[in-house]
Amino acid sequence: MTALLTVASILFGGGGLVAIIQAVTGRRARKAEVADRLSDSSLKWVQEFQEETQRARLDAAEARREVAEVRRELAECRHEAEALARDLRNLRGAIMAPAATLERLRALVGGGEVNGRL
């Protein structure tokens, strides 16, 4: 019984109840403050993520355009290389032919003499 009276006097006397109420409401306020901070941090992270995602999308689009241009240039180079290889094979065949003459080779290359030579 004495213990019960002691607890009751602490709670109701000398501001004990006020202290408990403040403690409970203080916790709620702290919880609300923590929740606000978490919400603010989360919102900031989401905004930063969205900005980085947008930059990444722009970079990716630019990279795709550059790759397409490089592929076009590569196709042109491949076409030119194939034509040059074909010309070299034809020229080699003409040079190695048993009936090769200087006049035929000049006609094949499409030029005349340069410093007295083919």
d(CA 36, CA 30): 10
31 falls within a domain: yes
Residues in the chain: 118
**How many domains, the chain?**
1
82 falls within a domain: yes
* Highest averaged pLDDT of the listed ranges 22-26, 59-63, 92-96, 99-103: 59-63
9 falls within a domain: no
Confidence band (pLDDT; 50, 70, 90) for 118? very low
10 falls within a domain: no
14 falls within a domain: no
Q: Which helix (H) or strand (E) holds 39?
A: helix 16-96
pLDDT digits (tens, 9 = 90+) for 53-83: 999 999 999 999 999 999 999 999 999 999 9
pLDDT greater than 80 at residue 22: no
d(CA 44, CA 57): 20
63 falls within a domain: yes
Domain that includes residue 66, residue range: 19-107
Least confident of 9-13, 42-46, 61-65, 100-104: 9-13
113 falls within a domain: no
13 falls within a domain: no
Yes or no: say if 51 and 57 are a contact pair by the CB < 8 Å rule: no
